[in-house]
């Protein structure tokens, strides 16, 4: 009997939902990207090998891959390459931690205080436009040619992007959250750890990842000029002695380290942002 009522038919909960699976075009695109990531270095090595054996260029200019591998094994086994890597990575993470701490503190201060924003932000934007590499001569005159100047350069390259990310992250927090925390007289440290950090974490992590990539490039450039060890110094010594194999090994290692750091930070970013979303839910 039609009594005017409407019967809604719903899908049983136990029935699988097809929408949860990624669409077929996305799976195919993901497979193509993976295949390209594997084939690209293979094609590069094969092309490099063919070019080095073609006789068009001297062996000192286009170094065969097998020569590069022998040089790599020699310098790794005699301990020189591990020493250079240890020196570079130690400077990188030391300066990065210092710069990240300064950047988070400065960006948070500008985000929560309008007076700090008014006084600090204009000068901050001016400093942000100055390339860190252009400041190397001035920093050498101020700090000398020791380890301090390299730590300062890495810290500077790190602090500004992190401060900008922290500032934007804090500015994106709804003001009502901070107002409620002040009304309930929550201590400033508790506000920072339980309100500001979780809310600004996605933007902050992106800034930290960008800062790590920039600081690595700045460090290698600084080591080319003022260092007695490190990957940059190894490449500079190879240039002075016309050892192109050493220069190319340094270039490859620099790229691999930068790639590894970026991939590792992307994985950490996904982990942290996933945890943040779960807490919000």
Q: Is 145 inside any structural domain?
A: yes
Q: Is 17 inside any structural domain?
A: no
How confident is the model at residue 22, as a pLDDT? Answer: 52
CA separation for the pair 218, 37 (Å, rounded): 27
Contacts of 26 (CB under 8 A, 6+ apart): none
Q: Which ranges of the chain would DSSP assign to H, the alpha helix?
A: 24-53, 65-77, 80-112, 114-128, 136-143, 147-171, 175-183, 188-191, 197-225, 231-240, 244-280
Q: How many domains does the chain have?
A: 1
Q: Is 51 inside any structural domain?
A: no
Q: Which residue has the higher pLDDT, 10 or 121?
A: 121
Q: Is 261 inside any structural domain?
A: yes
Q: Is 52 inside any structural domain?
A: no
Contacts of 159 (CB under 8 A, 6+ apart): 99, 100, 102, 103, 106, 211
Q: What is the CATH number of the domain that holds 257?
A: 1.10.3720.10
Give the pTM. 0.76
State the average pLDDT over residues 112-138.
Answer: 84
CA separation for the pair 78, 91 (Å, rounded): 22
CA separation for the pair 130, 236 (Å, rounded): 25
Q: Is 22 inside any structural domain?
A: no
Q: Is 214 inside any structural domain?
A: yes
State the average pLDDT over residues 219-224.
Answer: 90
**What is the SS3 string spanning 33-61?**
HHHHHHHHHHHHHHHHHHHHHCCCCCCCC
CA separation for the pair 219, 213 (Å, rounded): 10
- 166 close to 108: Cβ distance less than 8 angstroms: yes
Q: Is 70 inside any structural domain?
A: yes
pLDDT > 90 in the chain, percent: 24
Does the pLDDT of residue 29 top 70, yes or no?
no
Tell me which residue range forms the domain holding 198. 60-280
């Amino acid at each position: 009997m039609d009594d005017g009522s409407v019967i809604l038919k719903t899908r049983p909960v136990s029935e699988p939902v097809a929408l949860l699976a990624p669409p077929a075009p996305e799976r195919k695109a993901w497979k193509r990207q993976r295949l390209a990531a594997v084939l690209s270095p293979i094609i590069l090595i094969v092309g490099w090998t063919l070019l080095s054996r073609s006789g068009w260029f001297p062996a000192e200019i286009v170094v065969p891959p097998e020569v590069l591998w022998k040089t790599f094994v020699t310098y790794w086994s005699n301990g020189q390459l591990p020493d250079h890597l240890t020196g570079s990575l130690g400077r990188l993470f030391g300066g990065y931690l210092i710069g990240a701490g300064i950047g988070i503190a400065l960006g948070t201060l500008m985000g929560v205080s309008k007076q700090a924003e008014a006084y600090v932000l204009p000068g901050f934007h001016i400093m942000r436009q100055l390339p860190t590499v252009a400041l190397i001569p001035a920093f050498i005159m101020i700090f000398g040619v020791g380890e301090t100047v390299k730590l300062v350069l890495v810290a500077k390259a790190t602090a500004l992007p992190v401060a900008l990310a922290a500032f934007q992250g804090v500015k994106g927090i709804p003001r009502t959250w901070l107002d409620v925390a002040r009304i309930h007289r929550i201590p400033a440290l508790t506000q920072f750890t339980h309100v500001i950090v979780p809310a600004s974490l996605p933007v902050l992590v992106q800034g930290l990842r960008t800062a790590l990539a920039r600081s690595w490039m700045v460090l290698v450039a600084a080591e080319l000029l003022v260092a007695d060890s490190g990957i940059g110094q190894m490449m500079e010594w190879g240039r002075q002695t016309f050892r192109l194999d050493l220069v190319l090994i340094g270039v490859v290692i620099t790229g691999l380290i930068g790639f590894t750091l970026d991939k590792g930070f992307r994985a950490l970013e996904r982990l942290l942002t996933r945890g943040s979303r779960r807490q919000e839910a």
